[in-house]
Amino acid sequence: MKLETHPKALLGILVATLAACSHNSTQSTDPAVDAAMIEQGKNIFRFDSFGDETQWTDTLRMHEVIRSAVDPTTALAVGLKVDSEALPAAVVQGIRNGSISLKSPATTVALLKLNAVVGLKGTVESVNGVDTLTRVGVTCALCHSTVDDSFAPGIGKRLDGWANRDLDPGAIIALSPALSAATKAVYNSWGKGRYDPRFNLDGKNGPQVIPPAYGLNGIHSVTVTGDGMDLEYWNRYVAVTQMGGHGTFSEPRTGVDVTNGTDDQVSGKLAALQAYQLSIAAPPAPAGSFDAAAAERGRVLFNGIGKCVTCHSGSDFTDANEHLHPPSDAVSEPEPNGAPSYASRSATRQYRTAPLRGLWQHAPYFHNGSAATLRDVVTTYNARQFLGLSDSQVNDLANYLGSL
């Protein structure tokens, strides 16, 4: 069984990777140096736009939309998150007692001034005595972070590396007054938790699920198609071609060659960004979230008649460091809605075996999100690979996957 996830990206929201980041090549053996680099990378991941305000402000004019029409209620509805730890006590109290309106775009501007909106970087200046959003950009955290909802739904402590599957990046981009109706229709077709990191380059519409950016330490093929051998490759791709950051990305295998601006605001930050991402461990499954007895039976199936271990091998449950797989191995194809094979749009034209740590956390599954649950994943493999698993065995194997 070869379970898939999708690459990290985003045109204005995505980064993350989004965001994605061979790790020993950029990390020092000095723990103190490593700690400093990781901290630097965390700040880049959370707050650095790489100069992409050129795209989001000058071209897409998103600052105009946000300051005039996006109140906090609307922002939360499209999946944007608020970092509760960035809120002063007076703001916390005001939200709780209702004296601060969550129906006013001015409140969104105030939150941006506090650096409290996860993944958005705003410049707020006083214009005629009124705080006014004059520039806005996006960071890796937009797509590859969420919050724990400890204050309220969508408001809480940051969870870096967790894919924001509530985010509707297409709907956000479609708010731009600079886009045509036809282009807006494509963006609005994506839905929550999905993004196409190649649409703006090849014009084909096949959104992928936003991937997590955790549990990647020691894994070289970090994207679903294994285009690069480390996170720096994908981070450069996303920062330049999707976020609009100032720098250059060139890939002869796909013919992509993009340069933004005249100053490189990307290259010097990639090592630290990768170091931080590689430091983020996959979250363990919460106690009580799976049936332990069923999971143990599922472990036997995983290593036996389920044949999962054939590809999901080793401690990271992936053979991605050894080789990639042809699309014929992927049970997730054909793509939904008649979209072209995602592999056909990539540099390798193949798929990697996805690592399985933290699998419980980031439904839906497969690179295109075509399996809503882990049971759906096992059911799909059982049917297409003729595994002959009984219904109870499907359930056991799904429990094991959910325990990883």
pLDDT, tens only, 70-86: 999 999 999 999 999 99
Q: Is 211 a member of any domain?
A: yes
Per-residue pLDDT of 169-184, as tens digits, reads: 999 999 999 999 999 9
* Residue % of the chain over a pLDDT of 90: 91
Residue 261 domain-assigned? Answer: yes
Query: Are 228 and 251 members of one domain?
Result: yes
pLDDT of residue 54: 98
38 and 73 share one domain: yes
Tell me the two tokens of residue 71.
């109140």
Report the CATH number at residue 310. Answer: 1.10.760.10
Q: At what angle do helices 374-384 and 391-403 cross, to 10 degrees?
A: 130
pLDDT score for 32? 66
Q: What is the mean pLDDT of residues 158-176?
A: 97
Domain boundary among 248, 278, 308: 278
Domain end among 219, 246, 278: 278
Question: Which residues, other chains included, contact 177 with Cβ-Cβ below 8 Å and sequence gap of 6+?
Answer: 61, 64, 65
* Residue range 218-240: mean pLDDT, rounded: 94
Give the pLDDT score at 33: 63
DSSP 66: H
Bridge partners, residue 62, by sequence: none
Average pLDDT over residues 198-222: 95
373 & 224 share domain: no
Q: Are residues 53 and 189 in the same domain?
A: yes
The predicted model gives 313-321 an average pLDDT of 94
- Which pLDDT score is estimated for 60? 98
| pLDDT level of residue 147 (50, 70, 90 thresholds) | very high
Task: Measure the CA–CA gap between 322 and 108, rounded to whole angstroms.
Answer: 47
Of 42, 116, 41, 124, which is closest to residue 80 (Cα–Cα)?
A: 116
The per-residue pLDDT of the chain, averaged, comes to 92
Spatial CB neighbours of 226, under 8 Å, sequence gap ≥ 6: 320, 324, 348, 350, 351, 352
202 occurs within a structural domain: yes
In angstroms, rounded to a whole number, what is the distance separating the alpha carbons of residues 373 and 375? 5
Average pLDDT of 12-31? 39
In this model, does residue 14 exceed pLDDT 70? Answer: no
Asked if the structure places residue 9 within a domain, the reply is no
Whole-number Å distance between alpha carbons of 217 and 280: 8
Residue 364 has pLDDT above 60, yes or no: yes
Judgement on whether residues 64 and 192 belong to the same structural domain of the protein: yes
How far is 160 from 139, CA to CA, in rounded Å?
A: 12
The answer to whether residue 209 is domain-embedded is yes
If phi > 0 it is left, if psi is from -120 to 50 it is alpha, else beta; for residue 236 that is alpha
Work out the average pLDDT over 382-387.
Answer: 96
Establish if 352 belongs to a structural domain: yes
SS3 294: helix
Q: Is the pLDDT of residue 186 over 80?
A: yes
Per-residue model confidence (pLDDT) at position 11: 37
Domain end, chosen from 219, 247, 278, is at 278
Q: So what's the pLDDT on residue 244? A: 98
Residues 318 and 271 in one domain: no
CA 55 to CA 72: how far, in whole Å? 23
Q: Give the pLDDT of residue 20.
A: 36
Q: Into how many domains does the chain fold?
A: 2
**Which pLDDT score is estimated for 13?**
35
Inform me whether the pLDDT recorded for 362 exceeds 80: yes
Closest CA to 351 of 370, 329, 372, 381: 329
Residue 70 included in any domain: yes
Same domain, 199 and 347: no
What is the pLDDT, as a whole number, of residue 16? Answer: 35
- pTM for the model stands at 0.90
My answer on whether 158 and 264 are in the same domain is yes
Q: Which of 28, 30, 46 is nearest to 275 (CA)?
A: 28
Q: Give the span between the Cα atoms of 347 and 332, in whole angstroms.
A: 19
Chain length of the chain: 404
The answer to whether residue 7 sits within a structural domain is: no
Token pair 């936003």: residue: 210
pLDDT value for 1: 52
Q: Do both 218 and 304 map to the same domain?
A: no
Would you put residue 190 in left (φ > 0), alpha (ψ -120 to 50) or beta?
alpha
Residue keyed to tokens 């402000």? 57
CA distance 280 to 285: 15
pLDDT bracket for residue 289 (50, 70, 90) = very high
Residues 149 and 250 in one domain: yes
The answer to whether residue 65 scores a pLDDT higher than 60 is yes
- Kindly indicate the confidence band of residue 30, based on its pLDDT and cuts at 50, 70 and 90: low
Phi-psi sector, 375: left (phi>0), alpha (psi -120 to 50), beta: alpha
Q: Specify whether 123 is located in the same domain as 71.
A: yes
Same domain, 318 and 263: no
The arithmetic mean of pLDDT across residues 194-221, rounded, is 96
What tokens appear for 273 in the block?
């960004």
132: domain range? 23-278
Q: Which sign does the torsion angle of CA 258, 261, 264, 267 carry?
A: negative
**Residues near 30 by beta carbon (within 8 Å), at least 6 away in sequence:** none
